[in-house]
Amino acid sequence: MHTPVKDPTGKTTEYRDENDTCPVCKSDRFLNKNLRLLVSPCYHRMCEGCIDRIFTLGPAPCPIPGCGTILRKMQFIHQTFEDLTVEKEVGVRRRIAKEFNKRRQDFQDLRSYNDYLEMVEDITFNLINNIKVRETEELIEKNRRENAALIELNIQRDERDVSSLQEEEARERRDREQRAAELRMMEEEEKFEKEREKQAIIDGLATSNTDADRLVAKTRAEAAKRSQARRRPDISNLLSSSTTTSYNNTRNTFAKDEPHVPFTDDWDDCHDRFSLRLPGDQSPYYDPTTIEVRKDVEGKYRAGGYMLEEVWERALRSAVMALDITPLPEDE
């Protein structure tokens, strides 16, 4: 038997029908306005009154004739679907989804993923239609044992997906509210400005001798400047922060860890086309340009880690590299 699995987003509603009647006590909405029918793990309905009456003192067999499954009060949940068979199917599917939650990336190829899905579907079908129930349950148990770690990991991943979705919705709602508030504020200020502008014009006309038109234009310009300075639309809120979407933090469990290889590139540095002499060799290169370095009177080259052989090596490599590259043909 299963434990009832609630819908995690909490968005579904309870099913109700006008003609609801409790099959056990036969009461209906006419008799009992608050009649509420709940569903048992064995997919039988009965009203809260009966449930209280039968199961308050502890586990008891299901009262529906022919069933007799031992039930507890806690196991009853509200009905979502009109058709109880649908309810059962949904329940089974929810449960199986928790047990078998591998994703495409957990498989090497599409074929194996599809095989997996088919197997899961078979199991589901059997459970819904009460076919080979015990065998199927054993399969589920086996899967749980073998894949415990992965199942757990994927459960965490699913939960994270859901919560990040909720977060995002909440954020969007907040953004929208904030924007609305800001715009309201701007409107207020604008109105105030307009009033001030009008007043300034009137005052100006009353007190000065300048041309009326010019005065009006001047005041308008000043007002516009002020409003422009104030208007710093915080456009950043318009664009949702798309780069902070949740990363898939769980590891892709498929890719195999390979043994270490020192180099993963194919560039040839030609170091094997000459044999490098070192400054400390018995007969090093005759190189008048670097005598001072080799003497290193103050020891500063050595202390700092300067390596003369690197200078030689660099020159040597450029000497042997690309010697046999054919020039581009002349007819191009």
Partner 1 sequence: MELNDQTMRSWIKEAKVGEGTYAVVYRGRHAVTGRPVAIKKIKIGQFKDGLDMSAIREVKYLRELQHPNVIELVDVFSAKTNLNLVLEFLDSDLEVVIKDRSHVFLPADIKSWMAMTLRGLEFCHRNWILHRDLKPNNLLIASDGQLKIADFGLARDFADPNPGFKMTWQVITRWYRPPELLFGCRHYSTAVDMWSVGTIFAELMLRVPYMAGDSDLDQIKTIFRALGTPTEEEWPGHTKLPNYVNIGQFPKSPLNLLFTAASSEALDLLAKCFIYEPRRRITAKEGLHHPYFFALPHPTHPSKLPKVAPTTKAKPLQVDDYEDDMQTEIKTTYREKRDKV
Partner 2 sequence: MTVSLNGQASVVKKSLYEGSTQFRHWRFSSTSLAKLRASQNADAVAKIRNAFEDDSPGSSSTIQFLSADEEYLLVKLYISKISQLCAHFRFPEEVEATAVSYLKRFYLRNTVMDYHPKNVMLTAIFLAAKTSNHPIGIEQYVHSIPKTKPADVLDLEFLVAQSLRFEFTVWHAHRALWGIWLDVQTISGFNQATLEDEYGQALERVRASRMTDAELIFTPSQIALACLHSVSPDLAEQWANLKSPNTADAVMETISRIQEIIDTQSGPPDLAMVKDIDRRLKICTNPEKVVGSKAYMAKQAEIEAEAARKRTKKAEGLRANMERDPFADDAPGATLVPTEPQSAALNPTRDHRML
Q: Does 299 bind partner 1 (CB under 8 A)?
A: yes
Residue 242's binding partner among partner 1, partner 2, none (Cβ under 5 to 8 angstroms by kind) is: partner 1
- Min. distance of Cβ 225 from partner 1 in angstroms? 18
Q: Does 149 bind partner 1 (CB under 8 A)?
A: no
Positions that interact with partner 2 (CB under 8 A): 176, 179-180, 183, 186-187, 190, 224, 227-229, 231-236, 238, 266-270, 272-275, 277, 285-288, 312, 314-332
Q: Encoding tokens for residue 253?
A: 């469990």
Residue 316's binding partner among partner 1, partner 2, none (Cβ under 5 to 8 angstroms by kind) is: partner 2
Residue 301's binding partner among partner 2, partner 1, none (Cβ under 5 to 8 angstroms by kind) is: partner 1
Q: Which of 245, 273, 274, 278 binds partner 1 (CB under 8 A)?
A: 245
Residue 306's binding partner among partner 2, partner 1, none (Cβ under 5 to 8 angstroms by kind) is: partner 1
Q: Does 272 bind partner 1 (CB under 8 A)?
A: no
**Residue 77, strand partner residues:** 39
Residues 6+ apart with CB under 8 A from 160: 246, 249
End-to-end CA distance of the chain: 81
Task: For partner 1, give the closer residue by CB, 265 or 330.
Answer: 265
Residues 6+ apart with CB under 8 A from 331: none
Closest CA to 20 of 92, 88, 78: 78
What's CA 123's distance to the chain center, in Å? 29
Q: Tokens 């994703």 correspond to what residue?
A: 103
Question: Cα(75)–Cα(78) distance, rounded to whole angstroms?
Answer: 10
Residue 15's binding partner among partner 1, partner 2, none (Cβ under 5 to 8 angstroms by kind) is: none
Task: For partner 1, give the closer residue by CB, 93 or 179.
Answer: 179
Q: Categorise residue 58: left if φ over 0, alpha if ψ from -120 to 50, beta otherwise.
A: left
